[in-house]
């Protein structure tokens, strides 16, 4: 019998009259039954956030930092439980679920540390004789209550990336997790509930997408942070033109492997970056470009590495690649690969649908207009191409509607700096794949990949605004 899960409304755990089942993508087993919030619950949560804002924004630094550190400690103490929830509800292999649980603890720890580091700044304003003897004090203040909409693929750490900086700056947050994977967010709600922060500072509402869309237009929210599909994200921004909005959207990341690269390492890292999340990550490797002089050697090495990956039960500690999230995703991935093959692409390995899995796949001989290359496949599929000129490779990486992150394998500093200058992405990873992310670094994209940046300090900046205090006639 699956557990019945309540949702958090400003310190109160509630259950509505309706519910939905969270099922394992691996075997369809019901992991939990989750109560669905009512319209009244949504109203109560939003109003509580609005009512709480004045108190929250005045909280001393130590109160916010200590609460964040407490949540980080809880995540460490309950790491095995958190990892199991991640694996069961989303199908993420347990080895990677453990990594996500540890990263979430780190995210809250970083938020606590950044909270204590925030000190504002001062500037002298006696720079012109006409200005007199004045001093400026500059601090950042929270914009107001925040709506956080999180995706299924990192059901704990991507919630943490919205929740932690909001609590850090004193902004109440209402969290809308993905209904396919709400359990991780509810766990974080439990940990928040154990802190001494005002109850109205956090609610967790596993509502559907349409309700989230309605919430996004509510004037009581000053800020929206959304991670998900480009189609939905840009619609949310258009529907809330006066709000501050951070959008972390899709990608079809490119990786360049030059002829001076460590090919064995590059192959190992591409085999990781393209498949560790069953490709269901916006910075998963999707397009690999290899210098023609080393293409044959790299291709052989990559196929060997990909064929080493174990696909199977996410609860098996040895599993590398789990199932994709649902049947519709499996259908789409399979259709795109079949369509590419019919148009001339060649399968080097994989290319098979084995419900609920899609086997790790490497495709070559793909064309620019094939969906497996020009759109975000969000599945365990990597395309492989060649180039002769490094500038040509940069141009090909840029030949995309997306611009989140990219990777470059080379030992040449000039090529590294050229790629850094010219590749149109929010982050370039050198001698590693696009899939690398340290939780404290600025993270976000260009073009259709979104707007704004996450990463603790950067997210905190986006949830606040500067206010200047001018002290006049002061002795300087």
Residue 241 lies in a domain: yes
Split at pLDDT 50, 70, 90, the class of 444 is: very high
Q: What's the CATH number where 310 sits? A: 3.40.309.10
Rounded distance between C-alpha atoms, residue 109 and residue 122, angstroms: 27
Average pLDDT of the residues in 202-212: 95
Provide the phi-psi class of 97: left if phi over 0, else alpha when psi is between -120 and 50, else beta.
Answer: alpha
pLDDT digits (tens, 9 = 90+) for 5-50: 999 999 999 999 999 999 999 999 999 999 999 999 999 999 999 9
Domain identity same for 463 and 431: no
Domain identity same for 214 and 307: no
Domain identity same for 237 and 263: no
Residue 476 lies in a domain: no
**What rounded mean pLDDT belongs to the chain?**
97
pLDDT at position 257: 98
Residue 317 lies in a domain: yes
User: Could you tell me whether strands 30-35 and 19-23 are parallel, antiparallel, or unpaired per DSSP bridges?
Assistant: antiparallel
Domain identity same for 189 and 306: no
Average pLDDT of the residues in 234-254: 96
Residue 68: Cβ within 10 Å count: 29
Given a cut of 90, is residue 4 above it in pLDDT? no
Catalytic residue among 114, 248, 376, 462: 248
pLDDT at position 118: 85
pLDDT at position 1: 40
Domain identity same for 462 and 328: no
Residue 277 lies in a domain: yes
Q: What's the CATH number where 144 sits? A: 3.40.605.10
- In a 13 Å sphere around the CA of 6, the CA atoms on its Cβ side amount to 10
Rounded distance between C-alpha atoms, residue 101 and residue 81, angstroms: 9
Average pLDDT of the residues in 382-399: 98
Domain identity same for 237 and 293: no
Considering its fold, how many domains does the chain have in total? 2
β-bridge partners, 22: 32
Given a cut of 70, is residue 472 above it in pLDDT? yes
CB 314 within 8 A of CB 97: yes
pLDDT digits (tens, 9 = 90+) for 126-183: 999 999 999 999 999 999 999 999 999 999 999 999 999 999 999 999 999 999 999 9
Domain identity same for 163 and 124: yes
Domain identity same for 49 and 77: yes
Residue 347 lies in a domain: yes
Residue 474 lies in a domain: no
202 in catalytic set: no
Residue 475 lies in a domain: no
- Residue 454's nearest CA partner among 158, 244, 253, 240 is 158
Residue 445 lies in a domain: no
- Give the 3-state DSSP-derived string for the chain, with helices as H, strands as E and coil as C: CCEEECEEECCEEECCCCEEEEECCCCCCEEEEEECCCHHHHHHHHHHHHHHHHHHHCCCHHHHHHHHHHHHHHHHHCHHHHHHHHHHHHCCCHHHHHHHHHHHHHHHHHHHHHHHHCCCEEEECCCCHHHCCEEEEEEEEECCCEEEECCCCCCCHHHHHHHHHHHHHCCCEEEECCCCCCHHHHHHHHHHHCCCCCHHHEEECCCCHHHHHHHHCCCCCCEEEEECCHHHHHHHHHHCCCCEEEEECCCCEEEEECCCCCHHHHHHHHHHHCCCCCCCCCCCEEEEEEECCCHHHHHHHHHHHHHHCCECCCCCCCCCECCCCCHHHHHHHHHHHHHHHHCCCEEEECCCEECCEECCEEEECCCCCCHHHHCCCCCCEEEEEEECCHHHHHHHHHCCCEECEEEEECCCHHHHHHHHHHCCCCEEEECCCCCCCCCCCCECCEECCEECCECHHHHHHHCEEEEEEEEECCCC
Domain identity same for 259 and 221: no
Domain identity same for 243 and 296: no
- Residue 220's nearest CA partner among 233, 206, 203 is 203
Domain identity same for 460 and 416: no
Catalytic residue among 52, 89, 114, 282: 282
Provide the phi-psi class of 467: left if phi over 0, else alpha when psi is between -120 and 50, else beta.
Answer: beta
β-bridge partners, 361: 381
| pTM of the entire predicted model | 0.96
Q: Kindly state the percentage of the chain with pLDDT values over 90.
A: 99
Domain identity same for 245 and 258: no
Domain residues for the domain of 298 are 253-439
Q: Kindly state the percentage of the chain with pLDDT values over 70.
A: 99
- In a 13 Å sphere around the CA of 437, the CA atoms on its Cβ side amount to 29
Rounded distance between C-alpha atoms, residue 8 and residue 225, angstroms: 19
282 in catalytic set: yes
């Amino acid at each position: 019998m699956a557990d019945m899960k309540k949702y958090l409304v400003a310190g109160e755990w509630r259950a509505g009259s309706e519910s939905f089942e969270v099922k394992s993508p691996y075997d369809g087993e019901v992991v939990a039954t989750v109560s669905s919030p009512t319209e009244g619950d949504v109203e109560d949560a939003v109003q509580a956030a609005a009512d709480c804002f004045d108190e929250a924004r005045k909280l001393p630094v130590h109160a916010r930092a200590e609460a964040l550190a407490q949540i980080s400690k809880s995540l460490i103490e309950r790491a095995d439980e958190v990892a199991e929830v991640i694996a069961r509800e989303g199908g993420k292999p347990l080895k990677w679920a453990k990594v996500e649980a540890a990263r979430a603890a780190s995210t809250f720890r970083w938020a606590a540390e950044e909270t204590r580091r925030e000190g504002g700044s001062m500037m002298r304003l006696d720079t012109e004789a006409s200005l007199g003897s004045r001093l400026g004090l500059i601090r950042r203040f929270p914009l107001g209550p925040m709506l956080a909409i999180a995706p299924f693929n990192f059901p704990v750490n991507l919630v943490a990336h919205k929740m932690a900086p909001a609590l850090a700056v004193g902004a109440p947050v209402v969290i809308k997790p993905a209904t396919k994977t709400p359990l991780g967010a509810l766990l974080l709600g439990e940990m928040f509930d154990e802190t001494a922060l005002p109850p109205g500072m956090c609610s967790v509402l596993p509502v559907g997408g349409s309700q989230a869309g309605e919430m996004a237009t509510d004037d009581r929210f000053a800020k929206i942070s959304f991670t998900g599909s480009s189609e939905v994200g840009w619609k949310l921004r258009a529907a809330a033109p006066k709000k501050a909005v951070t959008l972390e959207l899709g990608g079809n990341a490119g990786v360049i492997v030059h002829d001076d690269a460590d090919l064995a390492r590059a192959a190992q890292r591409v085999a990781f970056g393209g498949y560790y999340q069953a490709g269901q990550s916006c910075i998963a490797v999707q397009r690999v470009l290899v210098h023609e002089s080393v293409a044959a050697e790299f291709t052989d090495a990559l196929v060997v590495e990909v064929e080493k990956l174990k696909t199977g039960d996410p609860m098996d500690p040895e599993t590398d690649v789990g199932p994709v999230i649902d049947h519709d995703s499996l259908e789409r991935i399979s259709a795109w690969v079949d369509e590419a093959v019919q148009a001339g692409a060649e399968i080097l390995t994989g290319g098979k649908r084995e419900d609920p899995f899609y086997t790790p796949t490497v495709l070559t001989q793909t064309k620019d207009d094939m969906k497996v290359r020009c759109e975000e496949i969000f599945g365990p599929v990597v395309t492989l191409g060649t180039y002769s000129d490094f500038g040509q490779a940069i141009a090909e990486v840029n030949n995309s509607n997306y611009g989140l992150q990219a990777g470059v394998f080379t030992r040449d500093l000039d090529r590294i700096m050229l790629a850094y200058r010219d590749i149109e992405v929010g982050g370039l990873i050198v001698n590693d794949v696009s899939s690398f992310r340290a939780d404290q670094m600025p993270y976000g994209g260009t073009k259709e990949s979104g707007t704004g940046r996450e990463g603790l300090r950067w997210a905190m900046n986006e949830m606040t605004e500067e206010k200047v205090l001018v002290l006049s006639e002061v002795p300087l």
